[in-house]
Amino acid sequence: MTPSTGAGPTLTTERPEPTPDSGIAAGPTPERTPAGVFRPRQLLEALPGAVHKLDPRHQARNPVMFVVLVGSVVTTVLAVLQPSAFAWAVAVWLWFTVLFANLAESVAEGRGKAQAATLRKAKQDTVAHRQTPTGIEEVPGSALTVGDLVVVEAGQVIPGDGDIVEGIATVDESAITGESAPVVRESGGDRSAVTGGTTALSDRIVVRITAEPGESFVDRMIALVEGAARQKTPNEIALNILLAALTIIFLLAVVAIGPMGAAAGQLQDPIRLIALLVCLIPTTIGALLSAIGIAGMDRLVQHNVLAMSGRAVEAAGDIDVLLMDKTGTITYGNRRATELHAVGAVSAEELAAAARLSSLADETPEGRSIVEMVTERFHLAAQASPAERRAELIPFTAQTRMSGVDVDGTRIRKGASGSVLAWVQEHGGSQRADAAAIATQATDLADAIGARGGTPLVVADLRTSTGQARILGVIELSDVVKPGIAQRFAELREMGIRTVMVTGDNPRTAAAIAREAGVDDVLAEATPEDKLALIRREQQGGRLVAMTGDGTNDAPALAQADVGVAMNTGTAAAKEAGNMVDLDSDPTKLIDVVRIGKQLLITRGALTTFSLANDLAKYFAILPALFSGIYPQLDALNVMRLASPASAILSAVIFNALVIIALVPLALRGVRYRATTASRLLSRNLLLSGVGGVIVPFVGIWLIDLLVRLVPGIG
Amino acid sequence: MSPALAAALQLALVVAVLAVLYVPLGDHMARTYTSRTHLRVERIGYRMVRVDPDADQSWKAYAASVLAFTLVSILGLYLLQRVQGVLPLSNGLAGVSPSVAFNTAISFATNTNWQSYVPETTMGHLTQMIGLTVQNFLSASVGMAVAVALIRGIVAVRGGGLGNFWVDLTRGVVRILLPLSIIVAIILLTQGVIMSLHTSFTATGLDGSTSAYALAPVASQEAIKELGTNGGGVLNTNSAHPFENPTPLSNVVEVIALLLIPVCLTRTFGTMVRDRRQGTVLLAVMGALWAAQLAVGLWAESSPHGVAAQAAGAMLEGKEVRFGIPSSVLFAVSTTGTSTGAVNSMHDSYTGLGGGGLLLNMLFGEIAPGGVGSGLFGILVLAVIAVFVGGLLVGRTPEYLGKKIGRREITMAALSILVMPALVLICTAVAVVLPSTSGALGNSGDPGTPGAIHGFSEVLYAFASAANNNGSAFAGITVTNDFFQIALGLAMLLGRLLPIVFILALAGSLAEQTPTPASTGTLPTRGVQFGVLLVGVVILVAALTFFPALALGPIAEALV
């Protein structure tokens, strides 16, 4: 077994080792507007867009706000025909209601615009060097079609999405990911995909274009962040239907007041009925519904995740099963040194010193982990001294299956046990008295480590002074579960999500790691087919499955999963198959995606509940105002003691409009979500939006009335 | 025995009997609708109407069967009434007038039993026995069949059918309603409920005057009148008549009978979905609303307003002294909470608050506990709405019993909920502005006077009763003019059939889904929390829809 053998893809060539909680706390990259921050100035900036949206064709898409728009028009006409302070005040505030709804949507959209502008810069038309049978021709990047081969040299912008078919290059992807560290892209394997608009920094590559013009990754990204490609998600559609039904019920209830009131002997002023209708229909959620959806997508973008559809984001909130690769997600991408086992008379310190020396110049993650461990446990220097820096590095090759250093007359080797033992034998090790016993001890140790899923590295040295090689001991490399991951899984469990660890390891090793990480289930010795079969099985049981993947192998499973998050480092096939792309290529990001999906639904639910609960107070404000002329006893319902019928109705209308603006920040930020059981979530959110929704308008309308009653002609 | 103690004992008896019968009857009904074997008598029936009892119907086929059956029932009942004059056992009565026959045919075939006629002088024994009584059984069985079809939709795994309407209809009658009716009829006979094919007898009063007292085969019809939550009396004053409801014990039996099947169906539901607590939650919600209405009603009717009532010590006008206030209110709340509509007191004479409570009980959509079958499917639709809002609040696509509430499901649920308010509000609004209406009202007066308010309440009550298929009335109103006969007839017909079609469509789309197993992330629908949410949704939907209308009627009356 070679030291670098590990299940799953290793990402080490591209990125620095992730910090233990990277991605878990993945913050927004600096150049983007941070999610959740809402500046009042945004409202002003969004005003032109909001006015533009008054177009009835736009309003007709939202039945609730369309009713408000019609009400505004009718009220305005009535106010012109029979002017009064009350009529004009209601008309103006009804227009404000419509405008505020548009404003919310514009603000939400505005946040994506800045990012779209940055992306457009990346998309600026590039010159492509297309390979033709006769040579290389220069064409505009927009003229490339699928299958074209283009040559990109150091410093050039890659003209389109594609796979590298020849060569290797470092690529600056900051235009898309916001990450400034360049990454390596090479032909073949799972890291061959390049994105149009990124820049090749070194070497020369040949890229086969995989996207038609206008359908590239950057194009889709721009459409997404601008909200142009936004389609209503299934739950949003369902909610819209419920809101439309409620609007119809309220329309009937209010229209019926006309004849009923007339029969009771009082003709009703149509403006008052329109005011009541607008107050009753769920304008709060109706006004903010599309802003919530856009902001949800935007929040994902802040997390550097691109969802190809809003449907996928919603599905993320419904996930029952989460498939996670062991390597890179649950454990660090590479095995790490966890133990030193000295053999024979060798002291642990001696072994540690040799292990350190042999690994100082070893830039593989395993090598670095050895240095880290010995500096920590044996307080040895982490940096090479000038003398040590003169050491000659013997690199690992597939033939020798070991690496090492030669320094100041000492040669140190570490590697697979068979190879190192053979090297010791070759270099006079067998002449030592206890050679056979020590060799057996080392082999036994190595076997034991292998049996528990670790990787043994045998260390030996050869001093010119003795001329005899000797075995010093064995370094145990094993998978290290990322700190905090068990807690994340516990959270997921509480949210009702089962985690399944997918690994190529044997079942015994897999089980050990699974236990440590606290996952619910393991798929060991997994082939891509096994993964696909597992997803299908879960789905047949009615469960929704999410997974991450980056290889072409993963593409079928990514496509089958309800939520498939492809790593941006992955192949074009994987990115095509998934319904989200994580630009940071951080597999734990899926947990954040789930959170955002849930938050999206909760925000909608909370505002719907709030909107409906508000109606109670509005009835108490408006009904006495409508009827106390004919039935004075109904004034008993005027529990807020509002000054006059006109001030009562106007106060309710003003409250109704202002509450939209007041809730814009909440709609954009989303209701706070904590991972807990559905039962506790429900109690908390019902209390806040339901009970709060009943109380708030009583106070709000009462306060507004205190001001409105001062207006001449109203109070 | 003090009246309060008597009332408490009656109430305790009602609750105790329901508690004892809850499990056995609920499970018997579950077995009835899940059994694969057919009784011989059932097979004969299937063969006669050429139905394959083992064929599974899609929602469309099921709905088409319900519609066809109901429309044929209406037609048959209409014709029977029209020609009763030439048939035997007509008591010498001529054919029923077209408008009454139209209204009555719809009324009995839709399980409403709104009566725009005086039975003793309109319907002969034959019409009562083979027409109205038969429909009492069949319309009740249709309601249960639809409820069971909805349950089947919930438990179906990917594309299962909703069962077979003809089998459900037959079994409901043969295995549930007939046996129970026989038992209840015998108990009522022991209490003195009459059963006679004579038309009347003449008695001489103490003052020497003679009066004729109508006789009829009452006991047999009385039992199914309550058990099937029908409510149509054989005698005009319904369960206030000593021949229909002679003793306090018969009164208790009738209250139990009308609550029995709706209450036990929640157990049937829990058993069929293999999670009994799901049924218990629904029962708890129904019970809480019923108990709250009862408490308010008792308080309102015991707090006398006005000189006469204060002199009597209670609001006794329109109530039978042999029952007193508690038994009257118990009956009234139960009859409006189910879709029965039988009365043992005149709801028109209740206080503003008391009468308003009865009205509200119907405007809840009759789910406390609702009619046979219709109560269960009614509350299940409201549960779907509650689950939808609650599901969003916990951040998951809403699921009820493993089935997702998506676009189609919420559309059907919303449409079925929309029907009743639309009918009540539109019909009431039209009725009150028609000049003909004021002449039909038992109470009227200048605008703003108590008479005018009460007159409005009578109209609102009539349409609430019709659209909810209740059948009780604020009796002051005379509904024999053509507008009321037709409008109330259509309200009953549409109020029954439209929601049924939407509910079967809902069942159909639920049946297509593969159930999702519940997890801790799923909204739990089997605890107190969900019960509270559901009560909130029921009250909020009704309150928000009808607040203005109630304000102009009962609330304005109550606040005087």
Q: Convert the pLDDT of each residue in B224-255 to its tens digit.
A: 999 999 999 899 889 999 999 999 999 999 99
Average pLDDT (A285-304) is 87
Average predicted confidence (pLDDT) for chain B: 93
* Best-predicted range by mean pLDDT (A127-131, A177-181, A539-543, B162-166): B162-166
pLDDT band at residue A37 under the 50/70/90 scheme:
low
Quote the tokens at residue B117.
């006629």
Strands A168-172 and A183-186: antiparallel
Strands, E, within B134-177: which ranges? none
Mean pLDDT for the stretch of residues A213-235: 74
In A386-533, at which residue ranges do the beta strands (DSSP E only) sit?
392-394, 402-407, 410-415, 455-463, 469-478, 498-502, 521-523
Per-residue pLDDT of B193-227, as tens digits, reads 999 999 899 999 888 899 888 999 999 999 999 99
Shortest CB distance from A683 goes to which of B388, B529, B548?
B529
Least confident residue range of A514-518, A611-615, B429-433 = A514-518
Answer yes or no: are the C-beta atoms of A321 and A561 closer than 8 Å. no
Q: In the prediction, which pLDDT does A230 show?
A: 66
The candidate with the shortest Cα–Cα distance to B238, out of B356, B341, B145, is: B341
Strand partners of residue A474: A341, A458
Architecture of domain A318-332+481-583: 3-Layer(aba) Sandwich (3.40)
pLDDT higher than 80, residue A424: yes
Which residues are CB-contacts of B498 (< 8 A; sequence separation ≥ 6)?
Answer: B415, B416, B419
Residue from the list A242, A493, A627 with its beta carbon closest to the beta carbon of B551: A627
Q: Is the pLDDT of residue A10 over 60?
A: no
Is it the case that residue A67 has pLDDT exceeding 90? yes
Residue B454, token pair as written in the block: 């009460």
CA atoms within 13 A on the CB side of A111: 31
Taking the mean position of all CA atoms in its chain, how far away is CA A56? 35
- Distance in angstroms (rounded) separating the CA atoms of residues A552 and A571: 6
Report the 3 state secondary structure along A337-377.
Answer: EEEEEECCCCCHHHHHHHHHHHHCCCCCHHHHHHHHHHHHH
Residues from chain B contacting residue A489 (CB–CB below 8 Å) = none
Instruction: Write out chain B residues lying below 8 Å of A681, CB-based.
Output: 393-395
Say if CB A549 and CB A530 are below 8 A apart.
no
Phi, psi of B344 (to 5 degrees): -115, 5
Instruction: Determine contact: A618 vs chain B, CB below 8 A.
Output: no
**Per-residue pLDDT band at A124 (split at 50, 70, 90):** low
B277 touches chain A (CB under 8 A): no
Can you tell me whether residue B283 is helix, strand or coil? helix
Cα gap A455→A337, rounded to integer Å: 9
Average pLDDT over residues A467-494: 85
| DSSP line for B499-546 | HHHHHHHHHHHHHTSPPPPP-TTSPP-SSHHHHHHHHHHHHHHHHHHH
Q: Which stretch of A363-367, B19-23, B369-373 has the lowest confidence by average pLDDT?
A: A363-367
Q: Considering only alpha carbons, which residue of chain A is nearest residue B547?
A: A619
User: Before B369, cis peptide (omega within 30)?
Assistant: yes
Domain(s) of CATH 2.70.150.10: residues in chain A: 145-211
User: What local confidence, expressed as pLDDT, does residue A227 receive?
Assistant: 65
Q: What share of chain A has pLDDT > 70, as a percent?
A: 92
Contacts of B428 in chain A (CB under 8 A): 256, 260
Whether pLDDT at A22 is above 70: no
pLDDT at A38: 67
A567 is an annotated ligand-binding site residue: no
At residue A233, does pLDDT exceed 90? Answer: no
* Helix ranges, B273-373 (H): 276-302, 307-312, 324-337, 352-363
Q: What's the gap in Å between the CA of A280 and the closest CA on chain B?
A: 8
Question: pLDDT at position A32, please?
Answer: 40
pLDDT on residue A26? 34
Q: For chain B, how many residues are written? A: 560
Tokens linked to A557: 């499973």
Average pLDDT, chain A: 84
What's the confidence (pLDDT) of residue A180? 66
> CATH assignment of A145-211, given 2.70.240.10, 3.90.180.10, 2.70.150.10, 2.60.40.420?
2.70.150.10
Arithmetic mean of pLDDT, A315-328: 85
For residue A467, the Cα-to-chain-centroid distance in whole angstroms is 59
Contact of A605 with chain B, judged by CB distance below 8 Å, is answered with yes
A414 labeled binding residue: yes
| Predicted confidence (pLDDT) at residue A123 exceeds the cutoff of 70 | no
The pLDDT value recorded for residue A7 is 36
- The pTM for the full model equals 0.87
pLDDT tens, position by position, B77-116? 999 999 999 999 988 899 999 999 999 999 999 999 999 9
pLDDT at A658: 96
CB contact under 8 A, A637 and B545: no
Do B470 and B340 form a contact (C-beta atoms < 8 A)? yes
Query: Which of A64, A233, A235 to mutate to test binding with chain B, by most B CBs within 10 Å of its CB?
Result: A235
Whether A633 and chain B come into contact, CB under 8 Å, resolves to yes
- Written as six digits, the tokens of B106 are 């719809």
- Residue A401 is assigned to a ligand binding site: yes
With cut-offs at 50, 70 and 90, classify the pLDDT of residue A333: low
Which of A:160-189 have CB within 8 Å of B?
A: none
Give the pLDDT confidence score for residue A167 in this predicted structure.
84
Contacts B551 to A, Cβ<8 Å: 623, 627, 634, 637
Mutation target for B interface from A233, A248, A260, A538: give the one with most B CBs within 10 A: A260
What span, in angstroms and rounded, lies between the C-alpha atoms of B8 and A290?
A: 55
Q: Buried (b) or exposed (e) across A603-612, using 16+ Cβ within 10 A?
A: bbbbbbbbbb
Residues of chain A in contact with residue B498, where contact means CB-CB under 8 angstroms, are none
**Chain B, nearest residue to A627 by Cα:** B552
Least confident of A30-44, A541-555, B17-31: A30-44
Taking only the tens place, the pLDDT of each residue in B266-312 is 999 999 999 999 999 999 999 999 999 999 999 998 887 777 667 76
* Mean pLDDT value of segment B502-519: 93
CA distance B548 to chain A (A): 7
Q: How far is CA B382 from CA A249, B271, B285, B413, B418, in A?
A: 15, 20, 11, 8, 11
DSSP letter at B241 equals: S
Q: Could you write out the three-class secondary structure of B32-83?
A: HHHCCCCCHHHHHHHHHCCCCCCCCCCHHHHHHHHHHHHHHHHHHHHHHHHH
What architecture is domain A337-478? 3-Layer(aba) Sandwich (3.40)
Average pLDDT on A169-194 reads 76
CA B411 to chain A, closest CA, distance in angstroms equals: 6
Find the closest chain B residue to A598 by CA distance. Answer: B395
Q: Are B240 and B5 in contact (CB under 8 A)?
A: no
Closest chain A C-alpha to B101 CA, distance in angstroms: 30
In this complex, the residue of A237, A245, A495 whose CB is nearest that of residue B521 is: A495
**B528 and chain A: CB distance < 8 Å anywhere?**
no
Instruction: Give the residue numbers of A marked as catalytic.
Output: 325
Q: Is A554 annotated as a binding residue?
A: yes
A396 is an annotated ligand-binding site residue:
yes
| A318 touching chain B per CB within 8 A | yes
How far apart are the C-alpha atoms of A546 and A24, rounded to whole Å?
A: 17
Average confidence (pLDDT) over A229-238: 82
CA distance A111 to A91: 31
Q: With contacts defined as CB-CB under 8 Å, which chain A residues touch B555?
A: 634, 637
Has residue A440 got a pLDDT over 70? yes
Across the A:B interface, residue pairs with CB atoms under 8 Å apart total: 221
Work out the angle at residue A703's Cα, subtended by the Cα atoms of residues A701 and A707, and round it to the nearest 5 degrees.
110
Confidence (pLDDT) at A13: 34
- Partner residue facing A604 (CB), from B390, B392, B418: B392
Residues of B in contact with A265 (CB under 8 A): 446-448, 452
| pLDDT reported for residue B172 | 97
Q: Give the nearest partner residue to B414 out of A241, A602, A615, using CB atoms.
A: A241
The whole-number pLDDT of residue A588 equals: 74
